Structure 1
Amino acid sequence: MATRRGFLAGLAASSFAPVAGWAKVGAPEFLSAARSSDDSYHLFGLTGQGAPVFQIPLPARGHAAAANPLRAEAVAFARRPGRFAIVLSCETGVILAELDAPEGRHFYGHGAFSSDGALLFTTENDYDAARGIVGVWEARTYQRLGEFSSGGIGPHDIRLMPDGGTLVVANGGIETHPDSGRAKLNLPFMQPNLTYLSVEGDVLEQAELAPEMHMNSIRHLDVRTDGLVGFATQWQGSTADSPSVIGLHRRGEAPQLLSAARAQARAMDGYGGSVAFYDEGTRIAVSSPRGGLVQLGDVAAGAVVGQLDMPDVCGLGVSGGALRASTGTGAFWAATATPRVLTQQPVAWDNHLVRVSCG
């Protein structure tokens, strides 16, 4: 991929000054897609207390977004197997660009910017070849520079690691094809993994769960400042056999699922929706909209230590070190030992609260 590598080399020698920081649009802490009461769809910017500071229309249901670290721009992604990804000015509400998935591809609902905001990386499905792809886009004109393998099938979430030069991808392992809707085509043979890639596309490391956990699809990610990766899984086997859906991984080691009592594991109904480190990274939380709860884990102990009941919860984020949660009922929660609703909006919040770093 000489074109992309050349762009990276040129970028290092050039200035990339921000046009407008997030402070100009109210310094939101989170982005979230939502369905409004009139069945229209929007991308919202939210404070740490859940108060909207802007909302921008979307053409259809959104899943997650990527926030440019320097400019008040967001890329909103369609829910899988959607093909739209639109670049929005969060200052004016104007659509700045539309990303078109190449022929034979669709987006998986997530993306990540490079630390300088110059590149966007998108998870994609090359569905006829049944392989995962990371697309690479220049983040001024949003022209596609190239692509590389995600290291597995069904790449969903993608995050930039703290070193700024490494990406981690949650390859869920599930083969899908738009002709079959959201049907899962390879469950008996699926092989989820975490793949660590350089931003140039070189595979640096791959990690898989134990063989008996091969149906525990790795979907969503959070990364602690020291590089510890937290992940949420979605179990594709019998609900009666559902294992823990919260995991941790440090490079060079084997991934581990948090230990959980049988009743705790079954309470999640095999579904981890979002994941977030909180309390200065000593705790980790995973939501389950199916179970209607947030499960809490102690990182050092590697164990589930509690849960919070919240109907239709999915989005998780952190504000001032404290856990926040959003639900399909429009509630935005302070997810403390005694949870309380901070705001209630006439919307159905979608799956994720995306952090914004205000430049």
Structure 2
Amino acid sequence: MVTNMWQRREFLKAAMLGLGSLGLPALCWAQGEHQDAWLWSAIDDAQGHQLLGYQPSTGNRFRAPVPERCHGGCRRPGQPQIALFSRRPGRLAHVLDGNEQREVTRITAGPDHHFYGHGAYSPDGRLLYATANRIKDSAGVIRVFNAENDYALEGEIDLAGIGPHELRLMPDGQTLAVGLGGIRTHPDYGRVKLNLDDMAPALLLVDRLSGAILERHAPSHHQLSCRHLDVAPDGSVLAGYQFQGPAWEQQPLLAFREPDGSFAEMALPDDLTDTLRHYIASIAMAPDAPLALITAPRGHRVLLLDRNERRLIASHHLPDAAGALPDGNGGFWVSSGEGEIFRVPGDGSQPQRLDALDLRWDNHLS
């Protein structure tokens, strides 16, 4: 249940903003400025854990040191702010100002909670939603923070499950798509997985105003941890799995939630499935073309899909493929854990290396 949160004006704001707010490029501080876009990512370098702002068109960059390893980020609509979250079991989120190129505030997960590395803003930029673990009972929740009140905690949505990871705002501006990984952890044991025999992963659709769970789609195997996802303008969701079972088993690693609410997994060729080593990282759906890009760092692959036809267009070797994001020009930016940044064209041709930096990119770009 949502506590202490929403007033009727919040619902009206979301309805009025609707798809218009979601049409803004996720990378830029001004509309239509993809050529001047900044990419944001957690990184590690010789100085330790950092947050990086990087402009592919110029190579300009700045770094902000942080005390623990971070993961995913999200841009605040209408503001030059980006929030980046600590990886499980971290307890901090960092809000950077892109214009001032500095950290402007830090958010704590709160007593008895830790973050899972991802978040999303409301369409008007007032509220920030972050996936979290309530440690005392291992409950998966969404913590809700008021960005207009110095990111004070406003409430919590209980997801009736364990291990929520990535979340995205749906095109209606009111519904959140959430990958529920199903894996129980505890900070006392670091990243050790404590319940592999009785996992219950799912793809969830959640009403961010009421807290109601509108849809719950379970994978075909209870050890297919549903973790990463992206949302297309038509309301379809592409989710990626990380299989926690025996290495020799073959399992589907991708699933689509259709605009009508139906759910189906997508099989890839057996030899490609083996190559991916049970692990999908970033997913990016192009807003202006029926394309999706998937990274698989353990398999050193990027996959390009036709999402309308549910068809594999290309599979490219790319060492330690990490973050992925549409570039607004028919292709995708892809980072590598080895420090490189690539452009992957939408026509299926080979990745083009743009730059090589002396650092290690984390698995997501924002």
Structure-2-length-normalised TM-score: 0.87
Q: Which letter does structure 2 place at the counterpart of 1:353? A: L
Equivalent runs, 1:300-315 vs 2, <5 Å: 300-315=308-323
Residue 334 of structure 2 corresponds to 325
**Partners in 2 of 1:117 and 1:103 — Cα distance?**
25
Any gaps of 5 or more consecutive residues in structure 1? 355-359
Return the offset for 1:93. Answer: 3.7
Residue 173 of structure 1 corresponds to 182
Whether the 8 Å CA contact 1:33–1:64 is kept in 2: the answer is: yes
Instruction: Tell me: CA distance 1:69–1:27, structure 2 relative to 1, closer, same or farther (3 Å).
Output: farther
Return the offset for 1:291. Answer: 0.6
Residue 295 of structure 2 corresponds to 287
Whether the 8 Å CA contact 1:150–1:169 is kept in 2: the answer is: no
Runs of 4 or more, structure 1, over 6 Å off, are none
Determine helix, strand or coil for the equivalent of 2:273.
Answer: helix
Whether the 8 Å CA contact 2:234–2:259 is kept in 1: the answer is: no
Corresponding position: 1:339 with 2:351: yes
Whether the 8 Å CA contact 1:208–1:255 is kept in 2: the answer is: no
Residue 69 of structure 2 corresponds to 61
Residue 270 of structure 1 corresponds to 278
Determine helix, strand or coil for the equivalent of 1:22.
Answer: coil
**Partners in 1 of 2:11 and 2:254 — Cα distance?**
41
Compare 2-11 and 157-166 and name the one that shifted more.
2-11
Determine helix, strand or coil for the equivalent of 1:232.
Answer: strand
Instruction: Tell me: CA distance 1:240–1:254, structure 2 relative to 1, closer, same or farther (3 Å).
Output: farther
Compare 45-54 and 58-67 and name the one that shifted more.
45-54
Determine helix, strand or coil for the equivalent of 1:4.
Answer: coil
Residue 207 of structure 1 corresponds to 217
Corresponding position: 1:223 with 2:231: yes
Determine helix, strand or coil for the equivalent of 2:7.
Answer: helix
Return the offset for 1:252. Answer: 4.6
**Partners in 2 of 1:328 and 1:136 — Cα distance?**
31
**Partners in 1 of 2:311 and 2:190 — Cα distance?**
36
Corresponding position: 1:81 with 2:89: yes
Whether the 8 Å CA contact 1:243–1:266 is kept in 2: the answer is: no
Deviations 1:282-339 (A, max 9, x none): 2322111111111233323324343100111111111122122100111111123122
Matched-pair identity in %: 33
Instruction: Tell me: CA distance 1:61–1:7, structure 2 relative to 1, closer, same or farther (3 Å).
Output: farther
Residue 6 of structure 2 corresponds to 5
Residue 20 of structure 2 corresponds to none
Whether the 8 Å CA contact 2:184–2:193 is kept in 1: the answer is: yes
Determine helix, strand or coil for the equivalent of 1:256.
Answer: strand
Whether the 8 Å CA contact 2:129–2:145 is kept in 1: the answer is: yes
Deviations 1:154-209 (A, max 9, x none): 00001111111111111011111111211111111111111111122122121112
**Partners in 2 of 1:264 and 1:9 — Cα distance?**
45
Residue from 194, 201, 212 that aligns with 2:203: 194
Q: Which letter does structure 1 place at the counterpart of 2:217? A: A
Whether the 8 Å CA contact 1:106–1:126 is kept in 2: the answer is: yes
Return the offset for 1:23. Answer: 4.5
Whether the 8 Å CA contact 2:232–2:286 is kept in 1: the answer is: no
**Partners in 2 of 1:160 and 1:12 — Cα distance?**
15
Determine helix, strand or coil for the equivalent of 1:266.
Answer: helix
Equivalent runs, 1:22-171 vs 2, <5 Å: 22-23=29-30, 27-36=36-45, 38-47=46-55, 49=57, 51-140=59-148, 141-171=150-180
Whether the 8 Å CA contact 1:239–1:266 is kept in 2: the answer is: no
Whether the 8 Å CA contact 2:179–2:227 is kept in 1: the answer is: yes
Whether the 8 Å CA contact 1:31–1:353 is kept in 2: the answer is: yes
Determine helix, strand or coil for the equivalent of 1:176.
Answer: coil
Whether the 8 Å CA contact 2:283–2:324 is kept in 1: the answer is: yes
Whether the 8 Å CA contact 1:258–1:297 is kept in 2: the answer is: no
Return the offset for 1:49. Answer: 4.7
Q: Which letter does structure 1 place at the counterpart of 2:351? A: P
Return the offset for 1:28. Answer: 2.8
Aligned residues: 346
RMSD: 2.6
Return the offset for 1:243. Answer: 1.8
Residue 243 of structure 2 corresponds to 235
Any gaps of 5 or more consecutive residues in structure 2? 18-27
Determine helix, strand or coil for the equivalent of 1:88.
Answer: strand
Return the offset for 1:121. Answer: 0.3
Q: Which letter does structure 1 place at the counterpart of 2:365? A: L
**Partners in 2 of 1:86 and 1:241 — Cα distance?**
39
